[in-house]
Structure 1
């Protein structure tokens, strides 16, 4: 059922795909799916509040008739809207329902302005939807040269989406389908996509590790200061025994991506009171500064080697002031790491993806790395395969950090050779992920894969954490038998010569004409 839903949703993009690139048309499709979800969910709730059966009111059109009847009755109207707002957090006017707009599309009476009003109404009345539909630009020339052509484009998308049942599945099927779409758009958008999507397999592996030892917490908080689409945060609840009680805290600089994360969390059934997100610059100004500001888990996939101000005033910032130096202006990697680590609870676990340079670069980064190692903060260093992420082919490392450890050793895992080769991107298999997680749990040496390095060993290496210094993955080359190789070459040359002779004989047997004589003679000359 999930695969079928994915396919239907992705095919709805066909009308937009020829008009703009994936980084743009994703905003239309994801925004419209989100709006349909809110509309259908409201109608289902109306049936429930009216004490009616979903079997009897099985489709949106029947549900809409019921909704209109209840709204026409002055005795029930205000109570109904109040209850909808209390239970769902919003209401939608009957004329603005997704299926009503689609009905108009089928009758060729649909007006883009009605959809625009629906978006504005929802965004202005309810703070949680504020700005969420800003990127669904219904006046864009890319949809069509004039209003009529733009109408036709959106009409076709509405028709395709309306036939999809976004509620009739158990669990988070629509949320997971949304994740699938995000991954597809990330794949199509290439470089631009690395900004908002962490491949599911990497996200899964990080979430599993971040949850270890915390599975039974009845209240769990997760923080992602560079949250992108929010998938890293969402994944962690799959490994907790009380997934419904997770509080999500996230920050994202890009407004479009921030809105995407918000929609993603809502579509995964996360209640509004469990969502605390901010659209802002993570490094420039610390957030959150009020309680809670430390979390059970911090997960991050920040932009690699980004620039930041590295202003001297940050030396007094409580996130960075313990480490003696600031991350350099040209590489904010350690600034992101220290920001996330500052917001980690003493009992928590942090997982962050970074380029390999953080493991061995010197100067200020070397000073920060040394302090982290002296404090015992770096728990594990995992070397990942190259070409896992959209937009960059570089190999990355996942660093696991903890506070108040009783030892300063570091587990090194070299998983760089464990992957499934893909046409455009490499992937981790379930087996690859399981091996990393099990090795992390056991914390023992595994030949050519893992090594627990003592603090003294790391000190001897001048606090350089380059993985090959600790995990030897060198494979002996099989010895070449020169005599045997020589015999094979002689035999191969004899086969080539015999084939050439056969070919020349075939040329001699060809019927020669004035047109072919020169070609045949020229071909023979090549083999003489």
Structure 2
């Protein structure tokens, strides 16, 4: 039943999202539809919470008269408890369903509501001022400009479109009272994925394909039934952090992340709250992770990342004394920040932790500073645990093949590094490659048991890697060469001779037919 409802909800939300499709690009209308879904979610949570408090008084939250003395007393008491429990507050008149009624003639209203909605979204943020949740709600709706001309040339047209979107969203039951289900969270993830598929290159800024997220999450949670902390230094929409939580039996203690893009940072915070992560349980920061790290001095039990591939960074010499980079004696080149992210993550990795990072294949063999850092990680620290080659064309916006590098500070098998070549295991759907569940399970089972499979995986000794000058190019260690069948030249020559005789007979027949018909021969 829940699976059926989830799929139905996903389709309903996507149909509503498509009412904005013709107005703007995927990455633009994404912010509006996800923002409105989030506003509806906050409203329903507020209504459920307040009504539970008012149950003994046998009144509903929406029935409170906000202007009466009794009503004001009720609201003040509820406000205090809501800020403590939920982290925000909405008055009855500010609830999604109440505003929707005003803006839709189908519900007995036909009011201009754009200014009211904008004010309510601001009020949600203002309600948190001076509280613990202030940072988590700060400017959360700043990307929802309801005066954007792309929503309509005139205010009336914009009001009509937004009212229509609200009306259709209001028809959907999010089933928030069924606390054991997370159908809305799943649907929200589905929408983010759909928007990513239409956003092209920009998708890489906020979304890791779900199948890759699942694999990373399974790797870093191996052998753990619960996690105290999980961290993603390039967290995008936060989906990868949330995926890690799904892979452990008990809930993750605390979520930590950092994201450079402001819009994506807002999306990550919404995603956390909408998935039921309490505001005290996540700490998402907005800044450049390499230049301005926000969690210095902290260690995390699980770390995952899909950083921008081979992006540029300052490589400012002053960073040579930064405790994240100083032990290596070299900084990653300014043209390629891949190893800078690795160094940053290693610094934050707890002694009992595991980190998994997706990187382009160049990190496996490039020389210079990257070769120096790679050698240090293997020879001096012995932190590299596994190298997993993935198929190309898995990620939106780029077709390059990638690899997952797994690091541990306390390795169970310190004498070898596991290499897995999973580059040929995928399913092609239209123009994109996908890892299916059986592909993910095969990689994970091989990683977990460190199984050696011919032409697929191998445990390589540190001595052999040293002999290869710390070059980690996967084909050096996992031979996937398939020999072709031997060709019998004499047999082929015999076949050609037979064919030539047959063709000669046919040519004579055709010549005879042409003579009878008194037409030229075709040869």
Same fold? TM cut 0.5: yes
Match of 1:177 in 2: 187
Match of 2:257 in 1: 250
1:304-343 aligned at under 5 Å gives the runs: 304-343=309-348
Secondary structure class of the residue paired with 2:19: helix
- Which of 387, 395, 417 is the aligned partner of 1:389? 395
Q: Distance in 2 between matches of 1:303 and 1:231?
A: 16
Structure 1 residues 492 and 334: CA distance shift in structure 2, 3 A: farther
Q: Are positions 1:109 and 2:111 aligned together?
A: yes
Q: Are positions 1:151 and 2:156 aligned together?
A: no
Q: Distance in 1 between matches of 2:113 and 2:521?
A: 72
Match of 2:206 in 1: 196
Q: Quick check: 1:381–1:411 contact (8 Å CA) kept in 2?
A: yes
Structure 1 residues 71 and 233: CA distance shift in structure 2, 3 A: farther
Q: Distance in 1 between matches of 2:73 and 2:103?
A: 33
Segments of structure 2 that go 5 or more residues without pairing to the other structure are 129-133
Q: Are positions 1:97 and 2:99 aligned together?
A: no
Q: Quick check: 2:287–2:293 contact (8 Å CA) kept in 1?
A: no
Secondary structure class of the residue paired with 2:55: coil
Secondary structure class of the residue paired with 1:413: strand
Q: 1:123: how far off?
A: 1.6
Q: Quick check: 1:230–1:265 contact (8 Å CA) kept in 2?
A: yes
1:283-322 aligned at under 5 Å gives the runs: 283-290=290-297, 293-322=298-327
Secondary structure class of the residue paired with 1:426: strand
- Taking only aligned residues, the RMSD between alpha carbons, in angstroms, comes to 2.8
Structure 1 residues 310 and 485: CA distance shift in structure 2, 3 A: farther
Q: 1:76: how far off?
A: 2.5
Q: Quick check: 1:222–1:298 contact (8 Å CA) kept in 2?
A: yes
Match of 2:131 in 1: none
Match of 2:141 in 1: 133
Q: What does the per-residue CA deviation read over 1:216-260, in whole Å, with 9 as the maximum and x for residues that have no partner?
A: x4x5100101000111111111222321x4200000000000010
Q: Quick check: 2:54–2:61 contact (8 Å CA) kept in 1?
A: no
Secondary structure class of the residue paired with 2:355: strand
Q: Are positions 1:357 and 2:362 aligned together?
A: yes
Structure 1 residues 161 and 526: CA distance shift in structure 2, 3 A: farther
1:37-56 aligned at under 5 Å gives the runs: 37-51=41-55
Runs of 4+ displaced beyond 4 Å: 66-72, 491-495, 524-528
Q: Distance in 1 between matches of 2:148 and 2:256?
A: 33
Q: Distance in 1 between matches of 2:9 and 2:197?
A: 19
Q: 1:72: how far off?
A: 5.2
Q: Are positions 1:402 and 2:405 aligned together?
A: no
TM-score w.r.t. structure 1 length? 0.88
Aligned residues: 497
State which drifts further: 364-373 or 154-163. Answer: 154-163
